[in-house]
Chain A
Amino acid sequence: MSSVKFIRKHKSSLIMLSLYLFWAIPSLMPFTPPIPIKEKARRLYNLMEDLPEDSVILYIYNTYPGLEPTCKGATTAFLNHAFSKGAKIIAVAFHVLGPVMYERHSPGLWDDYEYGVDYVWLPYIAGRETGMASLLSSFRATTTTDFFGTSLDSIPLLENIDSAADIDLVAGLESDLSFGIGWIRQIYTTHGVEIAMIGGWAAMEPYYPDQISAMLFPLPGAAAEYEALLNAPGDASKQLAILYVGALFYAVFILIGGNTVNILYQIFKKEKT
């Protein structure tokens, strides 16, 4: 079999193999690519720097473990920054797998702070957008206990907190395209509370920067920029080398593989026939 025939027969396998080889480079030869800090990361950083001390942040975990490689670094960097500014964090999930992520993010994040004083985990609230509307109207009318089954009334942090009026900023991760717009409707439009999306979707771009005050996007690149601003390299920065070679592969693959080779091949084929 000639080499051309071999390539034609196994082209999908060869593309996948070359992709894995590209991804293996940063593992075999670790390197730190340059981190250009862009406008979105800087805007979120400035928003957090300007936040008054003892601000209350509602952090929404509408995500699932499949997205962990992209969202963990961003969450850790953002929340550690918030804690360092003296903010109090209330975590909640409107995605059924959100609470799993609380536990997975504990080392290096939640474990370093005091439960009930610095932060609280609320349980999964069903109903998606309706659940969000209900919680922001009244925490206690929506759930009487936290994630561990402790009464909300016995948690010091929640002593004077019961609705959107007591929240200074809503931030968090959203993996659902259709529900993302629900944030605008239920948080900004109804209660006028500022929104900071960590990750989110390109589809949220029409609402940025008017209804969404800051947006850390795309991940993990933007999260690495945020870590660079904090001068605290973490999970996102470690992933940057993979992102670097991955972007290079896609660009080369599309420009060379998709354009040039395809065009030359089809022109050549046309002339031959």
Chain B
Amino acid sequence: MSLLLKRTLPMAMTSLIAISLILNFFLDLGPMGDAWEGALLSWCVVIVTAAMGLGLFNLVKLHMVTISKREAGKWPFSLILLASMLLMILTRVFFTPGSDAYDIVFDYTYHPIRSTVGQLFIVWLVAPFTRAIRVKRGIPDLGGVLLIGAFALVIIGNSPLASYWVGFEHIASWLLTVNNLATKRAIAITVGLGLLAMGARIISGREKTYLREEFQ
């Protein structure tokens, strides 16, 4: 019974639902097929929303336990997390945008922190390029030179600096739309084929990693 409920039934449901959606997409099963597809999509949205609520509940529970046990080196941070979360929720519930409390919490605290982290991430991405070149026996590595040379040209070609010479824009465009695009298309096609194969494996019941380990 346990095996039927925890392995056979979920696998059968997965296959049947996937096959019904594929049939409706390609063969158009009429109003009944559309209603079935619509219902499934709505259920999915409801389940994901409920899962977010469950996640919030789990987060609060986990940190409450840490605080109540006074876990060394952890509980003050848990306290800060819960207090911050409560402050954000209450501010949004009781104050509207434009009010002083809302501006202090969101505009002057949260948004600058998110923006700073976002922009520092870009600097962090650029930094490794400056170390891309290695010199062996006095000869610089050609791959590294090409990599950072192309990087600099794309930056210049997509910035206002390109207005000084039209060639910058053409070179950047050629690098992006010929060299870079060919690679990206190859990756996109490969990922697409991989997804197709994974879908076929799930529908046929060969892929079971979504089940608990003991039922796979």
Name which of A53-61, A79-87, A248-256 contacts chain B: A248-256
CB–CB A263/B148 < 8 A: no
CB–CB B49/A34 < 8 A: no
Q: Does A258 contact B (CB under 8 A)?
A: yes
- Encoded as 1 (CB less than 8 Å from any A CB) or 0, chain B from 6 to 50 comes to 000000000000000000010000000010011001101100110
Residues of A within 8 A of B38 (CB): 134, 137-138, 141
**In the docked arrangement, what's the CA distance between A65 and B117, Å?**
11
CB–CB A134/B45 < 8 A: yes
User: Shortest CB–CB separation between residue B170 and chain A, in angstroms?
Assistant: 11
In the complex, the chain A residue whose C-beta lies closest to that of B159 is A247
CB–CB A127/B45 < 8 A: yes
Residues of B within 8 A of A270 (CB): 135, 137-138
- Encoded as 1 (CB less than 8 Å from any B CB) or 0, chain A from 234 to 273 comes to 0000001001101110110111011100110011001100
**In the docked arrangement, what's the CA distance between A96 and B135, Å?**
47
Q: Does A151 contact B (CB under 8 A)?
A: no
User: Shortest CB–CB separation between residue B118 and chain A, in angstroms?
Assistant: 4
CB–CB B138/A267 < 8 A: yes
CB–CB A266/B176 < 8 A: no
Residues of A within 8 A of B106 (CB): 100
CB–CB B44/A127 < 8 A: yes
- Encoded as 1 (CB less than 8 Å from any B CB) or 0, chain A from 126 to 143 comes to 110011011001100110
Partner of B118, one of A36, A66, A126: A66
Q: Does A68 contact B (CB under 8 A)?
A: yes
- Which bucket holds chain A's interface residue count? 35 or more
- CB within 8 Å for A259 and B159 given contacts A65-B114, A69-B115, A103-B97: no
Q: Secondary structure of the B side of the interface?
A: helix
CB–CB A36/B163 < 8 A: yes
- CB within 8 Å for A243 and B160 given contacts A68-B111, A130-B44, A262-B135: yes
User: Shortest CB–CB separation between residue B149 and chain A, in angstroms?
Assistant: 8
**In the docked arrangement, what's the CA distance between A2 and B151, Å?**
34
Q: Does B212 contact A (CB under 8 A)?
A: no
Q: Does B119 contact A (CB under 8 A)?
A: yes
Residues of B within 8 A of A127 (CB): 44-45, 48-49
**Residues of B within 8 A of A (CB-CB), count:** 53
Name which of B57-65, B71-79, B126-134, B201-209 contacts chain A: B126-134
**In the docked arrangement, what's the CA distance between A45 and B10, Å?**
50
In the complex, the chain A residue whose C-beta lies closest to that of B41 is A134
Residues of A within 8 A of B115 (CB): 65-66, 68-69
- CB within 8 Å for A267 and B135 given contacts A35-B163, A205-B176, A248-B161: yes
**In the docked arrangement, what's the CA distance between A141 and B34, Å?**
12
Residues of A within 8 A of B152 (CB): 250-251, 254-255
Q: Does B69 contact A (CB under 8 A)?
A: no
CB–CB A221/B160 < 8 A: yes
Q: Does B84 contact A (CB under 8 A)?
A: no
CB–CB A133/B184 < 8 A: no
CB–CB B138/A244 < 8 A: no
**In the docked arrangement, what's the CA distance between A62 and B142, Å?**
40
Q: Does A149 contact B (CB under 8 A)?
A: no
User: Shortest CB–CB separation between residue A100 and chain B, in angstroms?
Assistant: 7
**In the docked arrangement, what's the CA distance between A254 and B137, Å?**
22
**In the docked arrangement, what's the CA distance between A9 and B130, Å?**
17
Residues of B within 8 A of A96 (CB): 52
Q: Does A18 contact B (CB under 8 A)?
A: no
> Measuring CB to CB, which residues of chain A are less than 8 angstroms from any residue of chain B?
15-16, 19, 33-36, 38, 64-69, 96, 100, 103-104, 106, 125-127, 130-131, 133-134, 137-138, 141-142, 181, 190, 202-203, 205-206, 218, 221, 240, 243-244, 246-248, 250-251, 253-255, 257-259, 262-263, 266-267, 270-271
Some 11 contacts from A to B, beta carbons below 8 A apart, are A36-B169, A66-B118, A96-B52, A133-B41, A206-B184, A221-B159, A243-B159, A244-B161, A262-B133, A263-B135, A266-B138
> Measuring CB to CB, which residues of chain B are less than 8 angstroms from any residue of chain A?
25, 34, 37-38, 41-42, 44-45, 48-49, 52, 97, 106, 110-111, 114-115, 117-119, 123, 126-127, 129-133, 135, 137-138, 140, 145, 148-149, 151-152, 155-156, 158-163, 169, 176-177, 180-181, 184-185, 188
